[in-house]
Amino acid sequence: MSAQGGESTILIIDDNAETIQLLAAMVRDQGKIIFAMDGAAGLEMARRQRPQLILLDVEMHHMDGFEVCRRIAADPDLPHSPVIFVTAHDSTESELAGLAAGAVDFITKPLIAPVVQARVRTHLRLQAALQSLQGQASRDGLTGLYNRRFFDERMAEEFARHQRQRDLMGVALIDVDHFKLYNDHYGHQMGDTCLKAVAEAIGSGTRRPAEIVARYGGEEFVVLLPNSDWAALEHYGAWICGRVAALQLPHAASLTAPHVSISAGLSAILPEPGSSIEMFLGQADRALYLAKQQGRNCYRVAAEGAGSHGP
């Protein structure tokens, strides 16, 4: 089972069709089997299919198993799937070389079905546990959205990617209006329920897979908007404010509206050497401050000449 509870995917990379068939027959009950017949094709398949486990032949032409393993460990675009080496050599040297390259285990030929199955089962279980822990560590307990730590990591990656690709990226800082008054009026527990509802509205509002929505702090959320220009920010700001207002969650103590509302500050940047994430988020924070100052239940975009409107 994978961390998501679905079927695990096992990638077999081997330049010998017979070995692939033999291995596939042995482990077919343990997951979905995919295969590649050389190192380069195997890496490409790993990139696209993100397998939970890789069974990797050591002795292959062009790119051997050690090199495949090293590339998996070094390339951030590749999933760090555990690799079990399959080899005819059972020497200590070759085992050490495999472990040094990043393999988690070894299976030596001739292949014995119960041994292969036991090793595969163990590493699939470990991988599922690891993925589950990683999933929990990146989530906020109350809302289920990503937490700030995860956001900061992804922001750094996306910042670098947009810099490489010379593309604009956007960010939105979103803060619930008069939330202290909400707690004072309805109690902290209702406050939690309200936060969950607002988080759900913002989180389920992602329109593209690369968008990342996280809880940034108490009643503040952050949305990373990849490949977004100023017009896209305007559109998103109006849309997200409208989306939360449309929940019509009563807020009798609000000084702004009879329902729960949010304010948003947005900013876009074309990352360049010398520009910083702090500066980028600082711009969005100042725009949020303006939205709060100028009435709440609205958004502001941090840009010269960019418009700024209520929902």
Q: Which amino acid is at 134?
A: Q
Residue of 57, 140, 158, 175 that binds Mg ion (CB under 5 A): 175
Residue of 175, 237, 301, 302 that binds ligand GH3 (CB under 6 A): 175
**Spatial distance between the Cα atoms of 83 and 11, rounded to a whole number of angstroms:** 9
Name the catalytic one among 67, 219, 234, 304. Answer: 219
**Spatial distance between the Cα atoms of 174 and 264, rounded to a whole number of angstroms:** 4
Comparison of 15 and 177: residue with beta carbon closer to ligand GH3: 177
Annotation marks residue 219 as catalytic: yes
Q: Does 292 bind ligand GH3 (CB under 6 A)?
A: yes
- Three-state helix/strand/coil letters over 83-114: EEEEECCCCHHHHHHHHHHCCCEEEECCCCHH
Comparison of 42 and 191: residue with beta carbon closer to Mg ion: 191
CA–CA distances in Å: residue 166 to residues 158, 162, 230: 12, 6, 15
Residue 302 Cβ vs Mg ion, minimum distance, rounded to whole Å: 19
End-to-end CA distance of the chain: 45
Comparison of 264 and 281: residue with beta carbon closer to ligand GH3: 264
β-strand 32-36 against 220-225: which pairing, if any?
A: unpaired
Q: Which amino acid is at 296?
A: R
Q: Which does 15 bind (CB under 5 to 8 A by kind): Mg ion, ligand GH3, none?
A: none
Q: Which does 183 bind (CB under 5 to 8 A by kind): ligand GH3, Mg ion, none?
A: ligand GH3
Contact positions vs Mg ion (CB under 5 A): 175-176, 179, 219
- Can you give the binding site for ligand GH3, defined by CB under 6 A? 142, 175-181, 183, 188, 191-192, 195, 218-219, 292, 296
